[in-house]
Every structure is written in C-alpha cells, then in structure tokens.
Amino acid sequence: MKKRLPPLNWLRSFEASARHLNFTQAANELNLTQAAISQQVKSLESQLGTTLFKRLPRGLALTDAGMAYMPAIHDSVERLTAVTDELFGQGQSRQVTIRVSLVFFTTWLAPKLPLFYEQHPDVKIRFTSNIWQEEKQKDTDLGIRYGQGVWPDVKAERLTWDELFPVCSPDLLREYVQTTSEQMLPSLEEVLPNHTLLHVLGYKEGWGYWLNQTSTDYTDNGKGIQFDTLISALEMAKLGQGFALGRTSVVKDMIENGTLIAPFEKTLETSEAFFLTYPTHQYLSPGAEVFKQWILDESQKQKAQKLI
C-alpha cells in the first residue's frame, strides 16, 4: 500500500531544518515559530513512522532515514520554487541560456534567428559557444551538441540528418579543370595524395571512418592538419588549404554560394548529428520551452525539404 503524501508545509519544515540542522534557523527562514517547526517535523515523523532527526544538546543531526529523504525533498522544493517564479513571478521573463556548437550556430542557426525573434520578441536568449562538450555548465537551459545522441542525464532530440563528403575551395581543383573537363575530374585516389586533409577532433566519423566506409584507397599517414572545431577546418578549406569533410547541414549554404564545392560523388550517411539537449530531470522555463519547440519545428522542416 502506498504511503500517503505528507502535507507540503511539513515537508518544507523538514527541508529547512535539514539544511540548517537547527529548528530556530529554519523557523526564521519560513517566518514561523520554533515550536511550529518542531511540531510539524514531529507530525511528519509520526506519519512516516520513522525518526528523521537526532535531537542533540546543540542542534540536530539527520538519521539515516533523514539523510536518504533529504535530497528528494530538497530537489522538489527547489523545483516548485522555480516553477512558481517562472510562471507567476519576475522569473517569467528570465533569460534563456543556450550552449551551442559554434559551427552549428554560424551555419545553421544564425540565419534562422531573425524568424524566431519575429515570432517570439519577448524571449530573451543568451548564446554561449563551447569547444569541449564534456565540460558541464549548470546555468545552461538548453544545449546543442554533436554526437550520437547518447549522453548521461540529458534528453537528446535530433536536429540534423547529414551526409558526409569531401569539400574544398573551387581554386584547389582549378589546375585539374585546366587540363581536363569538369565532368572528367581525376578520382579521389589521384587527387587526395597531392593535398592536405583537414581533420576535426571529437568527431567519431572523421576522415579515417569516411575513407574506410567508402572503400577509398588512401591513407593520410598523419600528414593532415588537426583542428578542435569544424568551423576552423571549413575556413581553411575555403582558403584552398586542403580538403575538409563536409556535413550537409553545415556546408549546404557554402556550396550554394560557391565558396566551397563537393567535387566527388562519394557520400556517406552519418549516424552522428547535431542534437538539442536538456537535463532529464530539470524543469524548463517557459522561454526555454518556446525555443525548444521552435528549433524542433525548424529541424523537421529541413528534414522534410531533404526528403523531397
């Protein structure tokens, strides 16, 4: 049989007393008398059928049951406080912090943001970029990161469906175009040994993976250049410094405006993608919910266009 949920004021008195380990300080915080706090805690213990505090000559100490109960009660009180402030207090206009991959922000998200602000002018957003995805930021509401969508303690919703293929500056292949027609370019195996491969750290599906999966007979042997961001590799490719491995969602506009070309037919579907992430057990503010729904809708529009 399920235990009946205790009254909220009893739980608040317990939570405050457990933090301070003192009934008097808990009473001051909750604007109650020390006697009221003590009585509410006793009532809670009576309903639960166990002792939550050891009453000491100077203060309190949590029993094993109290220590086990405290984290869940503390988290619940914090979430109720946050939700109440978001919906009914000054917090309803709180700034939304979004931690986003720089290349995704620059190539995919930034061009779409004017539409978001036109539709939701009251949502205040702070964007922060990151290099190392493993670093945690507790003050982040939403994240946009690249990978296979499996990370501890976060829910991940896919934003992109990409293909991988080599890209380079049009100038890089001009020497070949001068000696043959554009329709008769040399093969990958002929071209790659004469140019630098631009690698990006942190991507499982990088050059080695692509060459192996497409059965391309070429090994880089460590002669390429490594970068910690894809945006850096793509900028080098634009400057004619080598071949980068393009991802559809990132290089689509660059190919359309001619700053990059995809000269070879071999492509490979990715299992990695950009994902919207947020903590599994954390309340999302109204502004974060608005942005979450908007970006997921935009993602589905992109996916639909790709399938047409």
- What average pLDDT does range 25-38 have in this prediction? 93
Residue 192 pLDDT exceeds 90: no
Cα–Cα distance measured from residue 214 to residue 188, given in angstroms and rounded to the nearest whole number: 11
Tokens 């790709």 sit on residue: 306
Residue 231 pLDDT exceeds 60: yes
- What average pLDDT does range 202-207 have in this prediction? 88
- Strands lying side by side in the sheet with 273-279: 125-130, 96-101, 142-147, 273-279, 154-158
- Is pLDDT larger for residue 81 or for residue 101? 101
Sign of torsion over alpha carbons 186, 192, 193, 194: positive
Angle at 26 between CA 22 and CA 27, to 5 degrees: 115
Residues 6+ apart with CB under 8 A from 39: none
Cα–Cα distance measured from residue 14 to residue 73, given in angstroms and rounded to the nearest whole number: 9
- What average pLDDT does range 255-266 have in this prediction? 91
For the chain, domains (ranges, CATH) are 8-91 (1.10.10.10), 94-154+272-307 (3.40.190.10), 163-269 (3.40.190.10)
pTM beyond 0.85: the answer is no
- What average pLDDT does range 87-103 have in this prediction? 77
pLDDT digits (tens, 9 = 90+) for 140-179: 889 999 999 999 889 999 999 999 999 999 988 876 655 4
Type of residue found at 128: T
Contact in structure between 228 and 201 (CB atoms under 8 Å): yes
Cα–Cα distance measured from residue 159 to residue 144, given in angstroms and rounded to the nearest whole number: 9
pLDDT digits (tens, 9 = 90+) for 47-83: 999 999 999 988 899 999 999 999 999 988 888 887 7
Residue 98 pLDDT exceeds 90: yes
At residue 189, the pLDDT reads 82
Contact in structure between 99 and 130 (CB atoms under 8 Å): yes
Residue 122 pLDDT exceeds 70: yes
Angle at 251 between CA 250 and CA 254, to 5 degrees: 130
Contact in structure between 178 and 232 (CB atoms under 8 Å): no
